[in-house]
């Protein structure tokens, strides 16, 4: 099942700023195993609960070997931050890109 309850890690130190990091789940489109039929809607609700906050910085994580135009993470970020003022696109898995392709356009923001 899915829980909307966060797991909290708190670091106390006079040498760090107050900052809360929330690792949100990715959006699952198709239920697998015993996942509920409405898994996508449940996850979307949980994610939007956090990223709607105008004080949140959104790290929109997408694998380099996928099409950014279909990135669910970027789509959700744009819903709440259309100008991209508080969204950072994070590109992972550069090592899995097809041979002969580069991340030049991706890293320069041309595909966003």
Candidates 39, 33, 10; CA nearest to 22 is 10
40 near 28, Cβ under 8 Å?
yes
Mean pLDDT of the region 18-32:
86
Q: To which residue do tokens 């760090």 refer?
A: 16
Mean pLDDT of the region 17-40:
87
Instruction: Return the pLDDT at 106.
Output: 65
2 near 43, Cβ under 8 Å?
yes
Distances 70 to 12, 35, 112 between C-alpha atoms, Å: 39, 23, 11
- Name the 3-class secondary structure at 84: coil
59 near 92, Cβ under 8 Å?
no
Q: How confident is the model at residue 111 (pLDDT cuts 50, 70, 90)?
A: low
Is the pTM higher than 0.85? no
Q: Is residue 2 pLDDT above 70, yes or no?
A: yes
| Distance (Å, whole) CA 46 – CA 13 | 29
Q: Is residue 49 pLDDT above 90, yes or no?
A: yes
The most distant pair of C-alpha atoms in the chain lies apart, rounded to whole Å, by 48
Q: How confident is the model at residue 16 (pLDDT cuts 50, 70, 90)?
A: confident
Q: To which residue do tokens 């990223």 refer?
A: 51
| Distance (Å, whole) CA 43 – CA 25 | 7
Mean pLDDT of the region 20-29:
85
């Amino acid at each position: 099942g899915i829980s909307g309850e966060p797991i909290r890690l708190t670091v106390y130190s006079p040498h760090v700023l107050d900052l809360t990091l929330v690792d949100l789940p990715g959006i699952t489109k198709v239920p697998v195993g015993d996942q509920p039929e409405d898994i996508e809607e449940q996850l979307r609700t949980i994610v939007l609960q956090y990223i709607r906050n105008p004080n949140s910085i959104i790290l929109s994580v997408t694998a380099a070997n996928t099409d950014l135009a279909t990135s669910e993470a970027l789509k959700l970020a744009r819903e709440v931050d259309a100008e991209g003022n508080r969204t950072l696109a994070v590109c992972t898995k550069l090592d899995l890109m097809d041979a002969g392709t580069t991340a030049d356009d991706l890293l320069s923001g041309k595909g966003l």
